[in-house]
Structure 1
Amino acid sequence: MIDISRIPEPLRNPNNCQKDLIPPFKYSYGYRPSLAAGIVFCILFGIAFFGHTLQTIRLRRWTSGLLAIGALTELIGWAGRTWSAECPYNQNAFLMQIVTLIIGPVFFTSALYVLLGTFITILGRKYSIISPRMYTIIFLSCDVISLIIQAAGGAMASSAAGSQGDTKLGTNIMVAGVIFQLVAMTVFALLSADFYRRSTKFGMPAEYNRILLALFISLAAIYARSIFRTVELIEGWTGYLMEHEAYFIALDGALMVVAVLIFLPFDPARTIPKVYRATEKKESAEMSDFSTV
């Protein structure tokens, strides 16, 4: 633990904007964040937020709303990193990005849970081990728990890091939250694969398969990101992954862009009504054939 009285005055103020390194005090990140990366990701998540917000207003779908909230959370986080590029010691900017970027993917997984539950409702309970209602209760509850754990741990760790204190407790809490999220996603992935296996015989329109493919790609991106964050946090705040921004850009920022932007060209909010109408027509035709017999 560093004696607070020895910390230079510019670093004691959480609102400071000290740009240059003050040895032996490292930047809060272990490096000075890239301004270019911050701007690029703010633009990308801004596009995702605008697109999904527009769909939320137009079509009033839960999936669009959750994706929009997740994109906004990521946007705030990368705005914090952009701020940190100019003020790398600033504790408020550091807290702003670490809390939002650790919890942002929770909203994306929630959208995936709701999306699969919607498809089960449309196709029928026979294609799923558990009911759509149970998907909502079980997995959204897991997301809320994960969100609370990660946010609490992130706030504790960032506060300690900003004051050059011990980040171990907060980091351990964050790791627990991410691992809990990984377990929930693993179970969801297995159930999703089983649903896909059962429903492939149904003969749904091409839009159906495209949306399911987008779901699996998004889930894979979030899953890979969660593994990265788990390893990163286990290594600690002075670990190799934590102190090299390239890994964070590639294995967090870029993966989350894929997870949310893929649902702009393959938008479930537009496709689900089409799938529902196609299902109704198929069922009506089958009933008509049966009555003829």
Structure 2
Amino acid sequence: MSHSDLLAMRKAACAAYVPGIGTSYGYVPSLGAGITFCVLFGVSMIAHTVQLCWKRTWWCVVFSIGCMVELIGWAGRTWSHDCPYNDTAFLMQISTLIIAPTFFTAGIYVLLGRFIQILGRESSILSPSLYLWIFCTCDVISLVVQAIGGGMASAGVDDGNTGTGTDIMVAGIVFQLFSITIFVICAVDFAFRTVRRRLLQKLSGSVVPLLAAMVLSVMVIYARSIYRTIELVQGWSGYLITHEVYFIALDGAMMVIAVGVFNFLHPGWLLPENVEHKNDYNSEIELQRAA
């Protein structure tokens, strides 16, 4: 098949897989995986939407939005199963699945801020508002850089000139990994301070599981970031990016855990209903120290 024939297939509404003719993925995306993750993120999105409306925790809308973006991405991969050469389906999934985790991390930044408000300023090296401003800004910068690189790489596919765009994408995701690493260090510092100063001893038992859920979510998002960084560094023909099992396990499954854990341990149910409750917690801690 000539290069022009391949370009025609990619621009067609849908062309079935032709053995021996490679796809943009390096494989044909799994239909079963696509449907499974569409269902999982769809259910989580509906549950989060109901939960945030029920408890009026409006900031938790970031979890619903993140699920919706993941759903769109996995719908693109499901579409690509039957139309593996379709550029629209490929670009739809690659752009959304890069963006989606940013909404989950934004929710975690807010949640950590709530914990700092409850436990007191001594529990963190940064103020609650700084977590949101610093790390959300870093996420936005990394996404803009990745979007620019992705656009350049996509534009250069036809003539095989994707090198510059790929390098920019790698720079963006490396920057994102760096910012998440700094956040993880800050989160570890927060955990160390709360344990060392025994700040958790007087907290309600319902808050501690939520803290554990936050830690789990951070861990899987960080694992996913490491995977995506290595994947892009290897390039579009690298081993990781051309073997779907790694994407399913280290991206899809990680993101289901990251957002799904908050369906079972939702901040609206487990956090104090308003900021004023933080004073009650702090008063109990101070009384314990005085005793």
Same fold (TM over 0.5): yes
AA aligned to 2:14 is C
Identify if the C-alpha distance between structure 1 residues 74 and 288 changes in structure 2 by more than 3 Å, giving closer, same or farther. Answer: closer
The answer on 1:74 being equivalent to 2:73 is: no
The answer on 1:181 being equivalent to 2:180 is: no
Match among 89, 113, 117 for residue 117 of structure 1 = 113
CA distance in 2, matches of 1:255, 1:287: 39
Q: Deviation at 1:21?
A: 1.6
What is the 5 A alignment of 1:97-136?
97-136=93-132
Q: Deviation at 1:62?
A: 5.0
Structure 1 portions without partners, runs of 5+ = none
- Secondary structure of the 1:92 match is helix
1:19 corresponds in structure 2 to: 16
What is the 5 A alignment of 1:246-261?
246-261=245-260
1:212 corresponds in structure 2 to: 211
- Secondary structure of the 1:243 match is coil
The answer on 1:242 being equivalent to 2:238 is: no
The answer on 1:271 being equivalent to 2:270 is: yes
CA distance in 1, matches of 2:74, 2:281: 46
Larger mean CA deviation between 139-148 and 87-96 belongs to 139-148
CA distance in 1, matches of 2:7, 2:131: 52
- Secondary structure of the 2:104 match is helix
The answer on 1:58 being equivalent to 2:54 is: yes
CA distance in 2, matches of 1:286, 1:229: 42
CA distance in 2, matches of 1:178, 1:112: 19
Percent identity, please.
48
Does structure 1 conserve the Cα–Cα contact (< 8 Å) formed by 2:272 and 2:278?
no
- Secondary structure of the 1:263 match is helix
Identify if the C-alpha distance between structure 1 residues 282 and 61 changes in structure 2 by more than 3 Å, giving closer, same or farther. Answer: closer
Equivalences, count: 286
CA distance in 2, matches of 1:10, 1:51: 42
Larger mean CA deviation between 29-38 and 59-68 belongs to 59-68
- Secondary structure of the 1:206 match is coil
Does structure 2 conserve the Cα–Cα contact (< 8 Å) formed by 1:102 and 1:154?
no
2:163 corresponds in structure 1 to: 168
Q: Deviation at 1:122?
A: 2.2
Does structure 1 conserve the Cα–Cα contact (< 8 Å) formed by 2:118 and 2:277?
no
Does structure 2 conserve the Cα–Cα contact (< 8 Å) formed by 1:98 and 1:158?
no
2:24 corresponds in structure 1 to: 28
Larger mean CA deviation between 100-109 and 76-85 belongs to 100-109
CA distance in 2, matches of 1:56, 1:221: 23
Identify if the C-alpha distance between structure 1 residues 7 and 138 changes in structure 2 by more than 3 Å, giving closer, same or farther. Answer: same
Identify if the C-alpha distance between structure 1 residues 80 and 285 changes in structure 2 by more than 3 Å, giving closer, same or farther. Answer: closer
Larger mean CA deviation between 270-279 and 30-39 belongs to 270-279
Larger mean CA deviation between 118-127 and 96-105 belongs to 118-127
Does structure 2 conserve the Cα–Cα contact (< 8 Å) formed by 1:106 and 1:146?
no
CA distance in 2, matches of 1:196, 1:258: 21
Structure 2 portions without partners, runs of 5+ = none
AA aligned to 1:11 is M
CA distance in 1, matches of 2:45, 2:114: 22
1:226 corresponds in structure 2 to: 225
Q: Deviation at 1:149?
A: 1.8
Q: Deviation at 1:46?
A: 0.5
Q: TM-score, normalised by structure 1?
A: 0.88
Match among 186, 189, 193 for residue 191 of structure 1 = 186
CA distance in 2, matches of 1:86, 1:227: 30
